[in-house]
Amino acid sequence: MAQALPRRRGPPRTLPNEILLEIFSFVGRNQPRLATLRSIALASRTFKDLVTPILYSTFSALEYAPDRDNLTAPMCFFLRTLIESPRLVKHVKDFKWEICNQLDAEKALSAAEFEQVFQKARDLNLHLNTPFWNILMDMKDATRDMDPLVAILLHLLPNLEKLSLTMVTIEDGFPEYLYPRPGGVLTIDTLTKVRALRLDAEDNMGDFVDLMPWLQLPSQTALSLGAIALDINVPTLGPLNLTSINIEGGFVEQPCLEGLLKSCQKLKSFSYEIDALGRPEENAATPEEMLITVREHASDTLVELKLRLIDPDPDSDAHWDWDDITEWDFAFRGLKNLKVLEIDAPFILGTDEYIRTDIHLTEVLPPSITELRLHVCGQRVLEEIGDLARVTRLVYPALDHVDIDSFKTFFWTPAYLKDVQKRFRTADVAFDYSFDYDYYFSPSYEGDLCRAYDFAREWASPALSGLMEVLISEKESE
């Protein structure tokens, strides 16, 4: 008779749920999220119970669809699932939708399923809103636009914390029924737990989007705005709970920007990226107006500041030719608690073609700075970074990270930056640099490095001088 195997000794065969949840939370960071989560859910009942909240926590139709022409089916299936299984709605925390009134829901939902949607709308008393209900009724016979169904879906998500709406090829502007207005289809009470809101457009939109209804959301602390034109009724704007504002290419006039920042008494993070191509014909707040407004209304609270120029041609100085750029005041010392600054260096120092010789980097940074990221760095900026490395320990004791990219490269640049890195390392500061973009060589600026070259050409041996002239001419001809 075969001898029975001894009982296995060692760790338990199952892990605590807390550890499994931690493992499952990493799914999707470096691999397809949905397919992996579905496979895990099918493995066992325990895994299904653990994975379901993660699987339904975020919905983005683009995650299910190969392109924007196929957004209809994922959206309709998601809505149908939540209506048939109400227990799942509590898990949805993040919702993303591409608003496009050209999508047709007819192929995704049957007539019976549409009746279920209409019944849910009646249960929500949406039939009392006559204009919206007429739109829903028209869907029975006409093209079934998806966007009204999004309004119904948002009513079903009581725990929604993040909302992102992107406008795509809309002829009639932002749909009125998607504004959270008193007495509207959506109300403030519908989105009470939304903390982070993003409004965006695939292309620059001509029509203004009324931001006022969105600013009234009671739990909102983060606002992100893409390439849209913003309208804010400043006189009626009260105190806001916003701690983070991110404007990426959006069109906002200076009075609206000032009114917005004036209402944010707790603002800690502000990002402003202005479209270089839109500047000449638009009245958008200039970078200097933005900084003046920030200094006036957020000098005591701001911790992070980002200022970039959305430049379609990063290898050229052409978009930095503001007539008054040499007169701009980009001093940050008034921001008492500023720790993280990310900025295009020409805002402070100009470019090698549009030079500002009256300003030095060490004169504008606040003593509280801990992290500095500079973009679009010409030769002058490289010199200023070298000066910063020499005084870091004495002037900026809190500084621990400096990062630069997209700078001009000369034959001396690698050795120069390695020396700067060594100086920063001596002061316990991490210094990173990358050659993402290589600027065109411009001989117009004669800074310290150029003067060093001139000195070497005058006093060095003829052979060395000849070699340096060859290297310079090769660089100029590239």
DSSP letter, residue 146: S
10: left (phi over 0), alpha (psi -120 to 50) or beta: left
Indicate the pTM of the whole model: 0.83
Q: What is the mean pLDDT of residues 333-343?
A: 93
Both tokens of 166, joined, read 């992107």
Q: What is the largest CA-CA distance in the chain?
A: 99
Cβ within 8 Å of residue 119, ≥6 positions away: none
> Residues in the chain, how many?
478
- What pLDDT does residue 185 have? 87
Tokens 């007495």 correspond to what residue? Answer: 183
Cβ within 8 Å of residue 424, ≥6 positions away: 389, 392, 402, 430, 431
**CB–CB of 271/261 below 8 Å?**
no
- Report long-range pairs for 129-135 (Cβ below 8 Å, ≥24 apart): 129/177, 129/183, 129/184, 129/185, 131/176, 131/177, 132/177, 132/185, 135/177
| Extents of the domains making up the chain | 27-56, 446-478
Q: How far apart are CA 370 and CA 340, in angstroms?
A: 6
DSSP letter, residue 380: H
CA 408 distance to own-chain centroid: 27
User: Tell me: the pLDDT tens digits for 240-295?
Assistant: 999 999 998 777 888 888 899 999 999 999 999 887 655 444 577 878 888 899 99
**Which region among 265-274, 295-304, 358-367, 455-464 has the lowest average model confidence (pLDDT)?**
455-464
The candidate with the shortest Cα–Cα distance to 359, out of 347, 371, 342, is 347
**CB–CB of 385/361 below 8 Å?**
yes
**CB–CB of 96/59 below 8 Å?**
yes
User: Angle, nearest 10°, between helix axes 379-395 and 448-459?
Assistant: 110
Q: What is the mean pLDDT of residues 153-180?
A: 84
Strands (E), 295-381: 304-310, 340-344, 371-375
More confidently predicted of 437 and 85: 85
Helices (H), 93-234: 111-123, 130-138, 147-154, 212-215
Q: What is the mean pLDDT of residues 160-165?
A: 94
Does residue 163 carry a pLDDT above 50? yes
Cβ within 8 Å of residue 447, ≥6 positions away: 379, 380, 383
- State which of 266-280, 427-441, 450-464 shows the largest mean pLDDT: 266-280
**CB–CB of 334/299 below 8 Å?**
yes
Q: How far apart are CA 157 and CA 111, in angstroms?
A: 24
DSSP letter, residue 350: B
User: Angle, nearest 10°, between helix axes 45-55 and 33-41?
Assistant: 150
CA 17 distance to own-chain centroid: 34
- State which of 161-170, 269-278, 410-419, 440-449 shows the largest mean pLDDT: 161-170
Does residue 441 carry a pLDDT above 50? no
**Which region among 78-92, 311-325, 375-389, 433-447 has the lowest average model confidence (pLDDT)?**
433-447
- What pLDDT does residue 112 have? 84
Q: How far apart are CA 245 and CA 290, in angstroms?
A: 12
The candidate with the shortest Cα–Cα distance to 342, out of 407, 269, 441, is 269
Any idea what the Cα angle at residue 179 is, between residues 178 and 182, rounded to 5°?
125
